Structure 1
Amino acid sequence: MDFLGYKGKRVIVSGCFSGMGEATARILVEQGAEVHGLDFKPTQLELASFNQVDLRAPETVTEAVNKIGGKVDALFNCAGLPQTAGAMDVMKVNFAGTRHLTEAVLPLMAEGSAIASISSNGGLGWSRRIPVIMELIGQKGFDAAVAWCEAHMDEVKEGYSFSKEVIIVWTMLTACHLIKKGIRMNCTMPGPTSTPMMTHFKEASGDAVIDAAMQPSGRPSSPEEQATAMVYLNSAAASYVNGVALPVDGGFMGGVATGQVDLSAMMANAK
């Protein structure tokens, strides 16, 4: 029984080299999908195709999508940079480039297609910054988004948290428009995950913050645990799930909401 409905479907996965993106692509291959990978580094997976792209260079993204062509049933935006990268590189990859990729793929999508992106529970402050985020989202195209960020570095700061907040609001906003065409859009909010990026997060935030973010479960997730949430959101089984920012964090967000996780103490320990 093909409960998730991926057999024979054509999908694109960005960030397929490692971590959550690699796990997502691997699971989709196992589910019988025709998987086309995009990344800055070559993948070791046996995919239908692989194109090397740099989300900071939109022309490479457009070229890759044109090579893939045909109908695309699902897009998985898994590529991203951590806080240890330069703030503008983070904004280009985590938002401007991701949006450009999505807009390049959309003409290849028909009713029943779906898009899922990776945000973070590091973007949990999105609701307090909606006016600023909407101003950025309102900038049309890659270059305009980058120019806005360069002119608002006081809002961008280190780039990571802001970029993840933007992904959440952009997802919710865009989902309302796309569903009228029968296309769904959602994102996940992962907690700490055992990927190659974990060392970068610890370097940027400190062990105390990472440990606090792993409460109440007390452990990081695996890349596969994050990937399965993405695979579900874009599947036929989630046909009425739209505009959702899904926490995949072992209960952290629930703990914050009910006072079981002391967010102020967590922030006090941040570097």
Structure 2
Amino acid sequence: MSDVLGYAGKRVIVSGCFSGMGQATAKLLLDLGAEVHGFDYKDVDLPLASFNKVDLRDPASIEAGVAAVGGKVDALFNCAGLPGGGGFPPIDTMKVNFLGTRHLTEQVVPLMGNKGAIVSIASTGGLGWSRRIPVHMQLLQTQGFQAGLDWCEANADQVAEGYAFSKEAVIVWTQFMGAQLIKKGIRINCSLPSPTQTPMMATFHATSGKEVVDAAAEPLGRYTTAEEQAGPLVLINSDLASVVNGIVLPVDGGFMGGLATGQVDISKMMSAGKKEG
């Protein structure tokens, strides 16, 4: 039972392994004996089996990275992402957080054979997904990176600043693909982190406001760490979670539960958002 999670000798890909949750996830997987292949836009100082510089805004870069890894891939961790709130162009945020993530996944799935696991990082910032399912289904019907990009550019009013819509898209896509991929023996899930102390936090504070971010950190009362977010990602892609599929897992210290039962006051988030708008 020493390898209860089943990662020893498994070949895995981690995108966004330079810093934050992606780096913490890669480190944990290395500790568990996995053969870790990393993708990032920036060079990485980790003892990985391989590292490829991949820009999720560029489908050719994604395809080259996956081709370089080759062989059987057992698990994919989609950890790369950009913050929103105007910190980056909305289309770049959409490319990295959804379009590139989807394209990377579509390139890796054929390498998984009849068994594999995929997990992506969404966000509690994507909670509006259930109100926009018909819109997101239009995006999901697009085939390929360029068609998805064309849809986003034609629907800039829906994309808005990019972050919330991109994370909503990850959530809807995860649930949609769960029913598709499981027939091939492949699971796909996503997590919803609450505010986490990573290099992105400075951008979130600058663009959304510290009061808004702090409100999303209740009832825990603090930001989570990258390591606290990495653990559930590794668990959900492990052998222990063999029939966990198509789920949207809050990793938020009780934010979602508090919200559902009226114990989290989101008026600060709403009023601050109105002031900014």
SS in 2 for 1:149: helix
Deviation by residue 1:150-191 (Cα, 9 ceiling, x = unmatched): 011110000000000000000000010110111100000000
SS in 1 for 2:224: coil
Structure 1 position 240, deviation (Å): 1.2
In structure 1, distance between residues paired with 2:227 and 2:179: 29
In structure 2, distance between residues paired with 1:258 and 1:105: 39
Structure 2 counterparts to residues 169-248 of structure 1, below 5 A:
169-248=172-251
The answer to whether the aligner puts 1:24 opposite 2:11 as a matched pair is no
SS in 2 for 1:23: helix
Structure 2 counterparts to residues 83-94 of structure 1, below 5 A:
83=84, 84-94=87-97
Structure 1 position 139, deviation (Å): 0.7
SS in 1 for 2:151: helix
The answer to whether the aligner puts 1:59 opposite 2:60 as a matched pair is yes
Deviation by residue 1:192-233 (Cα, 9 ceiling, x = unmatched): 001000011111110111110010010000000101111011
Point out 4+ residue stretches in structure 1 off by more than 3 angstroms: none
Counterpart of 2:253 in structure 1 is 250
Deviation by residue 1:79-120 (Cα, 9 ceiling, x = unmatched): 000111110000011011100000000110023310000000
**TM-score between the two structures when normalised by the length of structure 1:** 0.99
Letter in 2 for 1:14: S
**TM-score between the two structures when normalised by the length of structure 2:** 0.97
The answer to whether the aligner puts 1:120 opposite 2:123 as a matched pair is yes
Structure 1 position 263, deviation (Å): 2.1
Letter in 1 for 2:57: R
Letter in 1 for 2:96: V
- Unaligned segments of structure 2, at least 5 residues: none
Counterpart of 1:137 in structure 2 is 140
Letter in 1 for 2:198: T
SS in 2 for 1:117: strand
Letter in 2 for 1:39: D
Counterpart of 1:260 in structure 2 is 263
Structure 1 position 267, deviation (Å): 1.2
Structure 1 position 265, deviation (Å): 3.5
Contact 2:16 2:23 in 1 (8 A): yes
In structure 2, distance between residues paired with 1:60 and 1:68: 13
Structure 2 counterparts to residues 67-82 of structure 1, below 5 A:
67-82=68-83
Aligned pairs, number: 271
In structure 1, distance between residues paired with 2:45 and 2:24: 12
Contact 2:211 2:268 in 1 (8 A): no
Backbone CA RMSD of aligned residues: 0.7
